[in-house]
Amino acid sequence: MKLFGTDGVRGKAGEFLDAITTMKLAMAAGIHFRKHSTTNKILVGKDTRRSGYMIENALVSGLTAVGYDVIQIGPMPTPAIAYLTESMRCDAGIMISASHNPYDDNGIKFFDNHGNKLNSKCEKEIENIFANEEYLSSQQKTGKEIGASKRIDDVIGRYIVSIKSSFPKDLTLQGIRIVLDCANGAAYKVGPTILEELGAEVITINNTPNGYNINDDCGALHPKNVGKVVLETRADIGIALDGDADRLVVVDEKGEVISGDKLIGALCTYLSSQNLLSKNACVATVMSNQALEDYLNKHNIELQRSDVGDKYVLEGMKNCCLNFGGEQSGHIIFSDVAKTGDGLASALQVLAMMVKSKKTASEILNPFDLYPQVLKNIIVGEKKPLNKIEGLKELQEEIKSLGMRDLIRYSGTEKKLRVLLEGKDKKLVDEYMEKLTEFFKNRL
C-alpha cells in the first residue's frame, strides 16, 4: 500500500487517514525506529486541527503497543518537532499536520533522531512493515514491555530560545511594525512571542484556532489578507505562515505579495555578501523560475535544482554541503539555523536583512522580474507513464526550441497531472499551455 507522498502521509481525516490506519502506521514506524533505538522515546506534536486528537491518540496507542514511550507536546510548528526531537534525544519525532491543506485533511510527518525527514528508503520500509499483518501482530508487547505516554507543556520555551538565537545579537526589531498571520495554526503562540521579545510591534491576526479554521481564508495561502492589514496599519512588513508554520510568505509595506523565488534570490545574495553562503551556491526546485537562476548567475552564485519537496531541497543541500535552499512555495531552509523549512526562522533572516540594509521591504525583496510562468492541474483518469504518451516528446522539443521551459509530473497523492510552462513571452506561454492542456485531455 502506498502511504507516503511528497511530504509524509496525508489525506482525508477519518477516511484515508483513519484511527486504524494511523495505529498500524505508528506500529510500523515504531518497529522501524527500534532498529536504531537509544532512548526508547518518541516525540509527538500536532497542529490545531480537530482531527489531531483522534490521530494523536491512535499514534500513541500504536507506539506504546510496540513498546515505545511517547512524549506529547501539543500544538507546535513542524520545525519545532524537528529541533526538539534531537534536543530531547528522542529516537524519532512525529508531527501531525496536513500543512497548508484544509482542516478536514490531516497528515503525519516523521523525523529521525537527528531531526531530519525520512528518506524514501525508510518510508518504503515502513510501508512494507505496515503491509505485513502477521509481523505487526508478532511485535506487540505485553506486560511491563508495553510503553507509556506523558504530556509535557513547557517545551515551547526551548524552541523560542533556539529561534531567537538565530537573529543577530547586534540587531533589534525596535521600531519595526509587523503584521503576523498565524493561519489559526501551530504557531499561534510562539510566533507573536518571538517577534515581540525581539522588540517588534506585532499586529497578530488569525491566532484563534478552533479546530476548523486552520488555513481557512488566511495564512500563507491567502497573503493578500495580510496585505490589506499592512496597508491599514501602515506596517513595515507582513509575515504569513501556513498551518504548521514551515512555510513563509512575505508582504511588503505596499501590501504586495513577494514571490518565493524573489525571496530566495534576495536572501541568497544577502548571505553571499555577508560571506555566509556555503560554496556560493544554493538549492531550489525544478519549479523555481528561470529568472531566479539567471539573476543568481549574474552574481556568481550557482543554483542547483532538486525535485519538488523541501526534503529533496535539504537532500540536495546535504549532498553538496550547502547551507541555504528553498521552494518558491515558501519553504526556506537555513540549515545553520533549522533542520527543515521554518517559517519563523526564515522570517527573522528576512527581518535581519531589512534592518541591516536600512531599506524597505519593497526595495530589498524585488531584486529581479520573474518570467511569465503558468501552472495547471489536469484531472486524469489514469496515470500513464509520460514516456509512453505518443507525441509528447515531440511537443516538448517544440516548446524548448521556442525558448520555453516545461515541467510535467503527476501528483503523488491525487489523480492529477501538474503542468508548468515558462518563458519570456507571456502570449506564447499561454498559447502552448492551451495546447498542452488539450493534448493531455485527449490522451489521459
Binding region for Mg(2+)? 99, 242, 244, 246
Is residue 306 within 8 Å of residue 282, measured between CB atoms? no
Q: Closest Cα partner for 111 from 131, 81, 87?
A: 81
**β-strands 201-205, 177-181: how paired?**
parallel
Sign for the pseudo-dihedral over CA of 4, 8, 10, 15: positive
Q: Closest Cα partner for 126 from 2, 37, 11, 270?
A: 2
Is residue 323 within 8 Å of residue 335, measured between CB atoms? yes
Please confirm, yes or no, whether 99 is among the known catalytic residues.
yes
State how far the Cα of 188 lies from the Cα of 184, in Å rounded to an integer.
6
Catalytic residue among 51, 61, 87, 99, which? Answer: 99
Quickly tell me which residue has 543568481 as its cell: 296
Grid coordinates given for 18: 483513519
416, burial (CB in 10 Å: exposed 0-12, middle 13-18, buried 19+)? middle
Q: In what order do the strands lie in the sheet with 201-205?
A: 201-205, 177-181, 237-241, 248-251
Grid coordinates given for 40: 526508547
Quickly count: other Cβ atoms within 10 Å of residue 18's Cβ: 16
Q: Closest Cα partner for 308 from 97, 99, 7?
A: 7
Instruction: Give the chain's radius of gyration (CA, Å).
Output: 22
175, burial (CB in 10 Å: exposed 0-12, middle 13-18, buried 19+)? exposed
Residue 420 pairs in a beta bridge with: 375, 407
Beta strands in 120-264 (DSSP E): 149-151, 177-181, 201-205, 237-241, 248-251
**Would you please indicate which residues are annotated as catalytic (active-site) residues?**
99
